[in-house]
Chains A and B, each alone.
Chain A
């Protein structure tokens, strides 16, 4: 399975909405997760099952989609949200496959 994220870089102003996309080359039902990665830290799980927020994740993060098309939306960007975001499929193992990442930067 190949996971393709778009865009590679997204420039957004604080307070605005960010929409990140992830596409799988095969249908994966809702077996998709989203992670936030910051320098010096391990990835943080944001969304699993395509739509479920992980424990402690703010409500401004939401996931949608099923099959092959998925979206992560951040409704009102805060300064701490600027990071790299990865999608990951877990429909089959092995392997687990990640998208190449979207860098969310301050506009």
Chain B
């Protein structure tokens, strides 16, 4: 059974940092691109960042470029999101997801975690 478990969310002040972790199990982690998404109440789902299987292809939504860094450790079956210079508008439930298709970034997402809540407020 595929499992994705996010952690690291917290209530923080603007300008501070957080590191989110997604621990994966039940599938061959290094065969799949992995992505972070966020769910904002009243606004819906937004893709945040993605990384291909060998970390050779990485991308971010424009609003987080230069502030967030995605990474993965295939030996630990883990995905990370380093979030710096956090803003109030980064407040959301952050979820990681596994691509349906292996070895490609052009995919739907068949497994999702339950998310970790990030609240940025002064």
Contact = CB atoms under 8 A, between A and B. Distances in A.
Contacts of A6: none
Chain B's interface: helix, strand, loop or mixed, by majority? strand
A58 interface: no
User: For chain A, which range describes its interface: under 10, 10 to 19, 20 to 34, or 35 or more residues?
Assistant: 20 to 34
A33 B45 contact: no
Nearest to A40: B114
B49 to A, nearest CB: 9
B100 A45 contact: yes
Interface in B94-115: 95, 97, 100, 105-110, 112-115
A86 interface: yes
A88 B108 contact: yes
Given A33-B108, A88-B108, A93-B59, A42 B95 contact: yes
Given A40-B114, A41-B114, A42-B95, A95 B108 contact: no
A48 B107 CA distance: 9
Interface string B32-62: 0001000100011111001000000001110
Chain A's interface: helix, strand, loop or mixed, by majority? loop
Nearest to A49: B108
Contact of B106 (A43, A45, A91, A97): A91
Contacts of A101: 44-45
Interface in A81-104: 84, 86, 88, 90-101
A5 B43 CA distance: 13
A42 B113 contact: yes
Contacts of B97: 42-43
Interface string B9-27: 0000000000000000000
Interface in A31-49: 31, 33, 35, 37, 40-45, 48-49
Given A44-B112, A98-B46, A99-B44, 5 more contacts: A93-B59, A94-B60, A95-B47, A95-B59, A98-B44
Interface of B: 4, 35, 39, 43-47, 50, 59-61, 95, 97, 100, 105-110, 112-115
Interface of A: 31, 33, 35, 37, 40-45, 48-49, 54-55, 84, 86, 88, 90-101
